[in-house]
Structure 1
């Protein structure tokens, strides 16, 4: 080990950003005290020396896993300091051990005798879906997936409020991307010259959309960022990487069908969607990576101290389609387009699925106007449950102050209203099965409630236990190489979708007979399908629901009762059961 480099590293302040050549050594020194019992620590020392001598050196599997776990998963690609590394090992040692120990034990096993080399079997990923299939699958699974990446979530927070963008002296609307510690890590600009379209109705309508974008940053815009990102991950793409995006499909995804209310698509709803897509495509980002230090915003005097010069478009738009009035022939608006995340945004998806977070579809369906608290807290908890699953801290309570920061209640609310709204929001999330249960970790001293400054000095410092549903925990534990694999796993019985007969689906030593008076249930529907000798797809087509919805019902995996689905099942079941 280079003693001079070691001495320089030891002399550096704990909060000083580490240059790339110091990071392997800093990581090794911090890990050494936690892995002293393993022989691999000697191998890691060799890895550090090898990396210092040659950029092409290939470190051991365990040290590679250690680096990826700490730098990519836990620090989320942020530029590290010695203090950040120390805190990562203190706060997430269980996660680090979980990721690294299996490889250490593998390396410490005696070398196995050489065996005949067998050609590796290529495992194909699930085929990418059409736009319609992507939306149908998200509805059936009752969730979409969004990236866990820290940078992506800062961008998402920026587009969730039009207060984020402020006009500067040059007339350009800009927003600063600030992390929770007050560090400036990027900038966003709103530019109206986003795409070039041929002159005509498409260009005119698109320009009208773009010119209205300043008022289009809200929770719906942030949801659309998640939806487009999810669609791009799993949907089929053209040769240039674009996906089809249709406003009607998104409205279908956001439509809550619990009360069997038919989806009515209005022109103004399409406009709201496309207006926000135009807003997303008008944003240009400049994010700082490893070669530039992160600085405290308070220390910046002007842009020369922290130069943001390279901006990249966030979304690329390839083409748009216009709807025309059938009677007059007048253009009514844009309803479909081709879109893809630009490279600066796609970089947040180039990782294993461990870095993706399931978002309950109910959170997307909440109104961005009058259910904002449910939407913001539901998404915050989804993110936190992913973090806590990885770090094995699901039993850790939430500070009320932290929850209030996440919801961001209006400043006009008084203390009593804030408490009532928070408790009501948590109750509603339980009702909608987004959280399993919640309760105060310690009893509220009602005598202190209502006193001067009681929210800040007392109540906000209390803690609340919020437990996720078991299904959420299991999904967060799953580890796959591609988002399509997780979505496919979410429908574990989707293997039946290739028109397997129900006899292949349910193997019974002695199949019971369906009785005329048998009530509707997942078991009785399965038996009826068996007796009718139908395939899952065939039965679903007769009932009028998707095959994956039928699979979830028969498997008793449906998370919520859907009135429309149940009515169709009852009607179909009654008709066939009477004829047996």
Structure 2
């Protein structure tokens, strides 16, 4: 919905009232862009609970709460609010509003990216689904298998079955003289064996350093093995130069960097998402995908040589940059940046693999939930187990013990604030036949993030190499949370999908796909108004009751009905 197209005299919903307060008052604070950025997020993200309670959610910033209360409760005496009333209040009491907001102005400090990474508590990582899939893909060597192309490959498929693209391992020597690089002896085997949780750490670190660090004219950054090792071994207060590393550790880091440069990806290039519903294999020719591109590109490489024999020992440092495939996720174009606790780098990629995986998963979820106002929504244990990916050899008791141990460790390390079962655990059912699948995994737990994480996730980040704020929230999906596919410039609601049946041609059958078509009350109401239809007439054409459609348009339906959703979607598509 376009705010400018909203009538000046129509009665506003609570969601529209929040937006109107921001839109009408923002010109008074044009000299404080960071404050406006936070207010925009507060205004354009309305939770269902806010709509029910008709009051601001606890996560709304103190400054926007003060602005909203001042204008709506103190300056406007009418019971019903309109754009005209809010605009009039802002115009007549502009000096009062500015004066009352003075304590909040200038308090939103920009992120200081000059602080060395090892001295920070957090870095920023892209939270979009596609970026997450690419990062997770480099941890799963068992997911690759030989393809018809002759390369080892895998598919990038999210938790909802949507196909985002393909990945292949195409290792090539990083040096002009392959005989000088020990990694080039068996490139495929070396690359495959290097896909693990440490590689995901390097993926995040290189991405962050490129987003925030110094680049040369061609966009390369200088990456040194010590950049990663400091995050694993450095303790605050130490002198970085005095931290010693083993040579083997350095070359292990560069092996992972080489592995990242060997991964080539082809992403879905269309506006439609493709969902695999039933197919024995995937034929990429049926879809609109980009050409394969390396995830990371390498410039010059610095080799380490034995001081005595002058024989090459391995890569010591190199120039690296994300390819044009990854850059949109890192340069502000498709950025949805969330906080990633740097303690993830300190956990062992061998013995604490589950710690790393859960930390990354929670990092992404907390970004999503901060935006949606569902921070304390419980997590299903089955979902967390899937993400943590425990070894298959563990039995039920071992899985539960290990699961709770990981959560206790994260709480001790202040990666999380606290955790607890959402309902009391019935110990009498534990240990009995089928208790894992039929009882324990069906339970939920509440995991609270540190307050600093919530505050950081509420910020819009201005990256050093861009003059614009990162968009928020672009392309996020997960097990339990609704997909958000648009930034907060329009009212948002679950995007529904309509399944198309397979269509047979003379030579082949296409796979069943799902096409994302946005459906929100605002979009539907706008179409009804464009056609000059009454709600009753539109409801009749949709094959549903006038009352149901009216409740949907006014956001009073708490539980969606799939049949009604499909009727509204089909009607909308008919006139699109």
The C-alpha deviation readout for 1:52-86, integer Å capped at 9, x for no partner, is xxxxxxxxx99xx89x979xx99xxxxxxxxxxx9
Closer/same/farther in 2, CA of residues 272 and 353 from structure 1, 3 Å limit: same
Partner in structure 1 of residue 119 of structure 2: 140
Aligned counterpart, 1:331: 312
Report 1:297-312 matches (<5 A). Answer: 298-299=278-279, 302-306=283-287, 308=289, 310-312=291-293
C-alpha contact 2:127 2:364 (8 A) present in aligned 1: yes
Partner in structure 1 of residue 106 of structure 2: none
Tell me what 1:268 maps to. Answer: 248
Task: Give the aligned partner of residue 443 of structure 1.
Answer: 424
Q: Give 2:437's aligned residue.
A: 456
SS in 1 for 2:317: strand
- Distance in 1, matches of 2:344 and 2:448, equals 17
1:321 paired with 2:302, answer yes
Q: Residue by residue, what CA displacement relative to the aligned partner does 1:81-137 show, whole Å, maximum 9, x if unpaired? A: xxxxx9xx99xx989x97999999699625969xxxxxxxxxx988975xxxx6xx2
Q: Distance in 2 between matches of 1:305 and 1:454?
A: 43
Deviation at 1:206, TM superposition (A): 5.7
Cα separation, 2, equivalents of 1:232 and 1:185: 24
- Distance in 1 separating the partners of 2:311 and 2:248: 16
8 Å contact 1:354–1:479 — kept in the other structure? no
Contact 2:139 2:200 in 1 (8 A): yes
In structure 1, C-alpha distance between the alignment counterparts of 2:399 and 2:413, rounded to whole Å? 21
User: Does residue 475 in structure 1 map to residue 452 in structure 2?
Assistant: no
| Residue 382 of structure 2 corresponds to residue 401 of structure 1 | yes
Q: 1:143 to 1:40 in 2, by over 3 A?
A: closer
Alpha-carbon distance change, 33 to 449 in structure 1, aligned in 2, over 3 angstroms: farther
Q: Give 5+ residue unaligned stretches, structure 1.
A: 1-22, 43-60, 75-85, 114-123, 486-580
Structure 1 residue aligned with 2:170: 191
Which of 1 and 2 has higher RCO (CA within 8 Å, sep 6+)?
2
Q: Which blocks of at least 5 consecutive residues in structure 2 are unaligned?
A: 21-35, 69-81, 93-108, 467-576
Do 1:242 and 1:339's aligned partners in 2 also have CA atoms closer than 8 Å?
yes
Paired residues of 1:354 and 1:478 also in contact (CA < 8 A): no
Deviation string, structure 1 residues 512-541 (Cα, Å, up to 9, x no partner) = xxxxxxxxxxxxxxxxxxxxxxxxxxxxxx
Q: Does 1:213 align with 2:187?
A: no
Which residue pairs with 2:350 in the alignment?
369
1:182 matched to 2:161? The reply is yes
TM-score of the superposition, structure 2-length normalised?
Answer: 0.61
Matched, 1:280 2:260: yes
2:211 corresponds to: 233
Q: CA RMSD in A?
A: 4.6
Matching residue within 115, 138, 142 for 1:163: 142
Aligned residues: 411
1:367-419 per-residue CA deviation (whole Å, 9 max, x = no partner) reads 00001111111221122122221111122111111111111111111111111
**Helix, strand or coil at the partner of 1:244:** strand
CA shift for structure 1 position 163: 1.2
Shift of 1:256: 4.8
User: Contact 2:266–2:290 (CA<8 Å) still a contact in 1?
Assistant: yes
Q: Structure 1 residues 37, 161: CA separation in 2 closer, same or farther (over 3 Å shift)? A: closer
Deviation, structure 1 residue 38: 4.9
Superposition deviation, residue 139 in structure 1: 2.0
TM-score when normalising by structure 1: 0.61
SS in 2 for 1:174: strand
Where 1:343 maps in the other structure, the secondary structure is coil
4+ runs deviating over 6 angstroms? 39-42, 97-107, 124-128, 258-262
Distance in 2, Cα, partners of 1:219 & 1:358:
18
Deviations 1:11-63 (A, max 9, x none): xxxxxxxxxxxx999x99xxx99959859999xxxxxxxxxxxxxxxxxx99x
How many Å separate the matches in 1 of 2:319 and 2:441?
46
Tell me: CA distance 1:235–1:436, structure 2 relative to 1, closer, same or farther (3 Å). same
Given that residues 94 and 392 in structure 1 are in contact (C-alpha distance below 8 angstroms), is that contact kept between their aligned partners in structure 2? no
The corresponding residue for 1:532 is: none
Q: Does 1:153 align with 2:132?
A: yes
CA distance in 2, matches of 1:298, 1:354: 32
**Shift in Å, 1:174:** 0.8
- Paired position in structure 2 for 1:500: none
Asked if structure 1 preserves the Cα contact closer than 8 Å seen for 2:390 and 2:399, the reply is yes
Q: Distance in 2 between matches of 1:475 and 1:431?
A: 21
Shift of residue 264 of structure 1? 3.4
Is contact 2:420–2:447 with CA below 8 Å preserved after alignment? yes
Cα offset for 1:307? 5.5
1:201: Cα distance to partner? 5.8
Going from structure 1 to structure 2, the CA distance change for 1:331 and 1:426 (only over 3 Å counts) comes to same
Show CA shifts across 1:425-454 (max 9, x none).
111111111111111121111111111111
Written as runs of structure 1 = structure 2, the 5 A alignment for 1:370-449 is 370-449=351-430
In structure 2, distance between residues paired with 1:248 and 1:483: 23
Q: Does 1:244 align with 2:225?
A: no
Instruction: Supply the distance in 2 between the matched residues of 1:37 and 1:476 (Cα, whole angstroms).
Output: 22
Cα distance between partner residues in 2 of 1:428 and 1:483: 34
